[in-house]
Amino acid sequence: MHIRNLSNLECTRLLSGNRLAHLACAKDGKPYVVPIYFAYAENYLYAFSMPGKKIEFMRANPEVSLIVEERGHGREWKSVLVEGRFEELPDRIGHKRERDHAWSLLSKHFDWWEPGALKPVTPPISDHSEHIFFRVFVEQIYGREAKEV
C-alpha cells in the first residue's frame, strides 16, 4: 500500500461528501467516543444531537477530535482527522440558514443517526425542536490516502 497525505482541498472535499464521523470529546480526563452525522460548510461541521453525555462533555470542554473515513476499492481508504472546537447554536442567536441547510442534509438519517444517545423507549421524534444544534470549528485537518501499488 502506498500512503500519501491529502491536500487541504482534498480533505474538505472528503468532508463535504460524507455524513458520518466518529467524534471524541473529553471531560475531567475521561474520553468519550460516539458516531455522529454532520454536514460540512465553510470550515464548520454542523450537527444535531439529543441532550446527553456528549453535549454535557462538550459544554464542559469544547475541544473535540473527529475522524471521517471513506473506503475505496479493495483495501484502499481515505481518512480525514479534524481537531476542532464545539460551539452550541441556540435558536435564539440565529443561524437559521445553517440550521435549515444542515437539517435538510441530515434529516434522512433521522431515526438512527444517534446510536449513542438514542435511549430505549424514546418516543418518536416529530420535529427537530428537541435537538441541540451545534457546530465544530475546524482548527486543524489532516488527511491520508492508502492506494494499492
- Name the phi and psi angles at 38, rounded to 5: -140, 160
Count of beta carbons in the 10 Å neighbourhood of residue 45: 25
Number of alpha carbons in the 13 Å side-chain half-sphere of residue 21: 28
Residue closer to a copy of itself, measured from CB, 100 or 118: 118
- Of positions 41, 85, 107, 116, contacts a copy of itself by CB under 8 A: 116
Q: Which is nearer to a copy of itself, 103 or 110 (CB)?
A: 110
Strand partners, 133: 48
**Count, residues near a copy of itself per rule CB under 8 A:** 39
Q: Can you tell me which of 121, 123, 126, 129 binds a copy of itself, judged by CB under 8 A?
A: 121
As a whole number of angstroms, the distance between CA 68 and CA 78 comes to: 8
Going by DSSP bridges, is the β-strand pair 2-5/44-49 parallel, antiparallel, or unpaired? Answer: unpaired
Buried-exposed string 117-143: b where 16+ CB fall within 10 A, e elsewhere: beeeeeeeeeebeebbbbbbebeebeb
Query: What is the nearest approach in angstroms of a copy of itself to the Cβ of residue 34?
Result: 7
Rounded least distance, CB 48 to a copy of itself, Å: 17
Q: Binding to a copy of itself (CB under 8 A): which residues in 30-89?
A: 30-35, 61, 63-67, 69, 75, 77, 79, 81, 83
Residues that bind a copy of itself in the complex, under the rule CB under 8 A: 1, 3-5, 22-26, 29-35, 61, 63-67, 69, 75, 77, 79, 81, 83, 111-112, 115-116, 118-122, 144, 146
